[in-house]
Amino acid sequence: MAKESEMKLLGTPASTFVNRVQFVLNLKSIEYKFIQENLFCKSELLLTSNPVHKKVPVLIHGNKPPIPESLIIIEYLDELYPDTHPVLPSDPFDRADHRFWASYIDNKFYPLYEELRRSPEDGKEAIKKQIIEKSQVLEEAFVKISNGKDYFGGDDIGYLDVVLGCFIGWISIFEKLHKFKVFDEATTPRLQEWVKCICSHKAIKSNIPTQETLTNIYLLLQKYNP
């Protein structure tokens, strides 16, 4: 029988969506057991814990049924431990606004990277242009939400910082491999500074996969899932 309070996280160390959950577990100083998955040969535990999507992350908290989907896990943890480093804002309007931008990041911004990876050469420039346009939209959101501070969350990391922050490693790989700049001094100066703050934050840096790991995964994806 699992202990009532034991936290288990099913994931892979180089998964962005898993990393964002790890960031929140770190911020809240929650101890957890990491159960490593092989996404090329999924375990019975993953298939039965997330039968609908069969994806990581999945959180298993004690004897409760498993919780899939990174944003749902993060909100669960935030409600469970509201007093230790809350990540969502307390004001209902601000919470709605942060959820809007989280949905924009997951459904409009990040999917373009997968499109870029899979696109034939002659389609890549148009996708890069869309990524840059969307990064400018995010810059405007950052300026409005951060209110002159270092993070979307203000003085310290909040919900949107972990939601977008988990993609920093991949963004940098795409910049190198596809020779373009997503966040830069001229077009997104505030987000460029934000990237530096995120990468050096103690709750974040230990769970950002290395550039070498991500490059190897990129090459594997190109080979087995082009």
Interaction site with ligand GSH (CB under 6 A) = 15-17, 39, 54-57, 69-71
Q: Residue 225 CB, nearest distance to ligand GSH (Å)?
A: 9
Task: Give the residue among 181, 172, 176 at the shortest CA–CA distance from 139.
Answer: 181
Q: Residue 58 CB, nearest distance to ligand GSH (Å)?
A: 9
Question: Residue 14 phi/psi, 5° resolution?
Answer: -105, 15
As to burial, measured by CB atoms within 10 angstroms (0-12 exposed, 13-18 middle, 19+ buried), residue 184 is middle
Nearer to ligand GSH, 19 or 188 (CB): 19
Nearest position to ligand GSH, beta carbon: 55
Nearer to ligand GSH, 70 or 146 (CB): 70
Helix, strand, coil distribution of the chain in percent, nearest 5: 55, 10, 35
Task: Give the residue among 79, 77, 80, 58 at the shortest CA–CA distance from 69.
Answer: 58
Nearer to ligand GSH, 53 or 179 (CB): 53
Nearer to ligand GSH, 35 or 197 (CB): 35
- What span, in angstroms and rounded, lies between the C-alpha atoms of 150 and 124? 32
Q: Which strand ranges, in their side-by-side order, compose the sheet holding 58-61?
A: 33-36, 7-11, 58-61, 67-68
Q: Residue 55 CB, nearest distance to ligand GSH (Å)?
A: 3
Q: Residue 159 CB, nearest distance to ligand GSH (Å)?
A: 13
Nearer to ligand GSH, 22 or 70 (CB): 70
Q: Residue 12 CB, nearest distance to ligand GSH (Å)?
A: 7
As to burial, measured by CB atoms within 10 angstroms (0-12 exposed, 13-18 middle, 19+ buried), residue 30 is middle
